[in-house]
Amino acid sequence: MKGIKNLSLTILICFFISGFVFAADSEITILVNNQEVESESRPVIIEGTTFVPLRPVCEAMDCEVFWIAASQTINIRNDTTIVGMQIGNNKISRQKRTSEGTTTVLDCDMPPRIIEGATYIPLRAMAEAFGATVVWDANTRTVIIVYDTTIKYSGSLTLSRFAGNGGRKRYDSTVDKMEFLSPESMDIADDGTIYISDSGAIRKISGGSSETVEFEPGYITSDIVRCYKDEVYFTTNAFEDEGGEKFYGLVKLVDGAAEGLYITEAVYSKISDFDIDSKGNIYAIVYNAGTAKTYLAKFNGTDMDFIATIDDGFSCMAVDSSDNIYLGNAVRGSIYYYNTSSNEMKLFAGVDDNTRFVDGTGPMFFEPRSLFYKDSSLYVMDYNLLRRAEVNSGGVALYSETLAGKISTELKPQTAEGKASEAEIAPSYLMEIAAYGGKVYITDPVNDVVWAVE
């Protein structure tokens, strides 16, 4: 996916591979803070080291690049650091831009080189010179660079397993012994009952035990689950009628039956998320295939009204206590606020296409994947960090902090209990969050459990 500078530079880059391979054989994608780097010269891998074209990557990291032809020297600068490299030289100099100007010399296994007339630098060496960690996603052949972060953790919170024992099947018991197939969407009713969409089934957790909710018709399976007071609503996965046409819809659970509120052909639209305001009005993010546009919609009986055209990157939403709507753009790294009374939309936090993990005043977001509003706080599952933004009644982000998680260097981290600031939460586009009673819950379809942060 494509996706306030501070005095620190953190880079997360992924890679493990060996051999000599030109990217022309299998293209390598480079993402800098979730935005793809475009370059006429492609990355190459030489003896296990990935080399990238000098300027495109460095400039995407907001660094200035200077080339001194006489000595074939490369000078890369950001606000805090100056890195010097030279063609054919295994030594790298790093100087902090302080009054002391201390210089450190670093070793480099594979020096910069000229390839087909273009200057290439070893990615790991350059990254580590800026205090980076290097990894590689071999499945997608993608290099991911995350930098310019300011993460401020909230107190001494802990992350612990709330439900599920890590086994992979649908099994009801006490929360410590129950098992999930894939806990995904989640919401909490007013009475504290937790409802989870578990790979198409509705699971209910109350009083420390679980129950799989049975309902008719049996061919309906759940996708996104939401609560209004103590009522349960969910969107369905696609299902076929007798003629083989595929449908999906929004239903309400009533006395063991999934009552259809809105049913339509699956080929024409898709609901990415929905939420319910204090009056029972249902809002949704809907993609319409007929117009090839994404809309913020409001359900009106068995139909829906498109109330605003929105960017295709919006994929998650939450309704606040004043019945206004927050919309998260996972592609562009921004969160917007929609006033339902004035029908006006404004930027709430972040900057479009300037994705960052930045806490404090003027918060910025990297990839908001799930939103949940509770008690003047907007909780955000931001890639694999659980973050909280305090908001005022006018939909303004006062500040943000990180509750749990850290930027992971693992491709498939196994979330571990303990200090929340040290937990590497396994990221997934299917995970969701919900808050109730001083705890924030996180579904984890990677490890088949539900976590709690408190």
pLDDT per residue as tens digits for the range 398-433? 899 999 998 765 666 677 789 999 888 988 999 999
Measured distance CA(272)–CA(266) in Å, rounded:
13
Tell me which residue of 441, 313, 349 sits closest to 386, measured CA to CA.
441
Tokens at 143, concatenated = 């290099």
Predicted pLDDT at 413: 67
- Strands 142-145, 29-32: pairing is parallel
pTM score, two decimals?
A: 0.81
Neighbours of 378 (CB within 10 A): 25
Q: Are 356 and 149 in contact (CB under 8 A)?
A: yes
Q: Which residues of the chain have pLDDT under 50?
A: 1-25
Residues whose CB falls within 8 Å of the CB of residue 446, separated by 6 or more in sequence, listed in order = 412, 415, 426, 427, 428, 431
Predicted pLDDT at 411: 60
Predicted pLDDT at 40: 82
Tokens at 361, concatenated = 């005043």
Cis omega (within 30 of 0) on the bond before 217?
Answer: yes
Predicted pLDDT at 12: 37
Residues facing residue 52 across a β-bridge: 121
Measured distance CA(20)–CA(18) in Å, rounded:
7
Predicted pLDDT at 133: 60
Measured distance CA(361)–CA(259) in Å, rounded:
45
